[in-house]
A and B are shown apart, each in its own frame.
Chain A
């Protein structure tokens, strides 16, 4: 019991520690690819510490909701991240909730962030919130369709069981898996506000989505929200790697050296995934907000197609 709690606690600390590094690696790779030196990969940690030390300034007309929202957002995303297998399968928390709960927790976080964006009553908060809601209302069906495909394939909605099935069973090379992978990558890009959908590096008022919602935050509140955003990206990358590249994850009840190897392989996978995401981001241009609808419709369509083709190939 103590051991499994320790393993789970280590996993939660690991994702928390890795999250700013993911952002740092992405920024570094993007900078290098555009022939700049770029800040160190540890810069996000320094930024977070700096923000946490600063005073917080709160608008006069902000309600209590504005003050508690960062904590709720951070907590919901952290709990969701604890449910995704990283270095080992079947940790103690992962049996209590499945992938649909993860989607639900992320939706909860988004709901409170949107409320906080509207709370102060500035124009930017409203614009950001309405755009975020538009994007998420399209991304969530796509995400759920992909979840259905994976759970039909693995006969389970438990992320640990899906990863275990992908690792051990005779899955073969399935076109449904390819489509689900592509769809999940598109959802990841949209949900985390990465480049073709939103640009996390600018504060240009015409285009910003996530940055517009959190414009009124400062100090430790901002630090919490930034950390939560990094954590969410790490969560999605971990989910992608544990489902589609499950090799090297320690199995249920593995010994300590195997767990250590699992941590190492997890770190390598996350680093590679961040670098690939960064390389993709420098090759595409940001799309207009109204084209995001088409982008996410395509992701939804991929999910539907994956389910449909699964029906064909399962009959063999």
Chain B
């Protein structure tokens, strides 16, 4: 059953797995479960990176995989969990549109990214697959951000977009390690900023629902 195309199939499987986990993120409406799925998303990314490193015999991709595992799959979810516990944020996430509608949009976006990447298919079908999966993950991350009102869920959407971008870069040979290191540091820094941002919104409004910001018209002195 495992043919000669196994190395390719494995990469396909892992990228497809990331798209599926993106759908789970879109579907889930509990904050703690969302964080777990984000960790799973990053784990799939780390595996995809490690597999590419193995295939291309590129040592720097192993480092990138280790970074994804430690920073994105362990540290960031732990930090987010700590935030949810510490700030006692409401555990359910309000969605702007219903789950069924969001799923339909999601399917549409996956179809769209496959279509958009069609010109790459004439170049190389392999690249077509890699790029359309990565684009689908990015698009789904953006969809998660616009369908959720909770700031925490929006951040989770943003982090999944970042995972999608990394997946896209992997398909192209030889991403410099420096860039990946920089992105990882940036993410950790961003997490700190997010934490402060959450803390402030939460202190002011007793909620992390961003819709309260719409009505806010500045401090009355």
Q: Chain A residues in contact with chain B, CB under 8 A?
A: 166-167, 170-176, 178-179, 293-294, 297-298, 301-302, 304-305, 308-309, 311-313, 315-316
Q: Which residue of B lies closest to A315 (CB)?
A: B125
Does B114 sit at the interface, judged by CB under 8 A? Answer: yes
| In the complex, B132 has a CB within 8 A of chain A | yes
Contacting residues, chain A, for B128 (C-beta < 8 A): 312, 315
Please state if B20 and A305 are interface contacts (CB–CB under 8 Å): yes
Q: Once the chains bind, are A297 and B103 in contact (CB under 8 Å)?
A: yes
- How far, in angstroms, from A174 to B3 measured CA to CA in the complex? 11
Q: In the complex, what residues of B have CB within 8 A of residue A176's CB?
A: 16
When A and B form their complex, which 4 residue pairs have the shortest distance between CB atoms, in order from nearest? A175-B16, A170-B3, A173-B9, A172-B9
Judge whether B103 and A175 touch: CB under 8 Å: no
**Main DSSP-derived SS at the A contact region:** helix
Q: Would you call A171 and B1 a contact (CB within 8 A)?
A: yes
CA distance A302 to B9 in the complex (A): 19
Considering only CB atoms, which chain A residue lies closest to B100 in the complex? Answer: A297
Are the CB atoms of B107 and A312 closer together than 8 Å? no
Complex Cα distance A171/B12, Å? 13
Name B78-137 residues within 8 Å CB distance of A.
99-100, 103, 106-107, 110-111, 114, 121, 125-126, 128-129, 132
A294 touches B27 (CB 8 A): yes
Q: Does A172 contact B106, Cβ atoms closer than 8 Å?
A: no
Interface flag for B13 (CB, 8 Å): yes
Instruction: Assess whether B221 is interfacial by the CB under 8 Å rule.
Output: no
Q: Report how far A178 CA is from B121 CA in the complex, Å.
A: 24
Is A173's CB under 8 angstroms from B10's CB?
yes
Provide the residues of chain B in CB contact with A175, threshold 8 Å: 12-13, 15-17, 20
Supposing A171-B1, A297-B99 touch, asked if A179 and B10 sit within 8 A by C-beta, the answer is no
A contact residues around B121 at 8 Å (CB): 315
Residues in B neighbouring A166, C-beta threshold 8 A: 1
B99 and A294 form a contact (CB under 8 A): yes
Smallest CB–CB gap between A3 and chain B, Å?
30
Query: How distant is B118 from chain A, measured CB to nearest CB, in Å?
Result: 10
| Apart from the given pairs A171-B1, A172-B2, 5 other A-B contacts in the complex at a CB distance below 8 Å | A179-B20, A304-B107, A305-B23, A309-B16, A316-B126
- B110 contacts across to A, CB distance below 8 A: 305, 308
User: Chain A contacts of B126 at CB under 8 A?
Assistant: 316
Shortest CB-to-CB span from B48 to chain A, Å, is: 12
Q: How far is the CA of A298 from the CA of B99 in the complex (A)?
A: 9
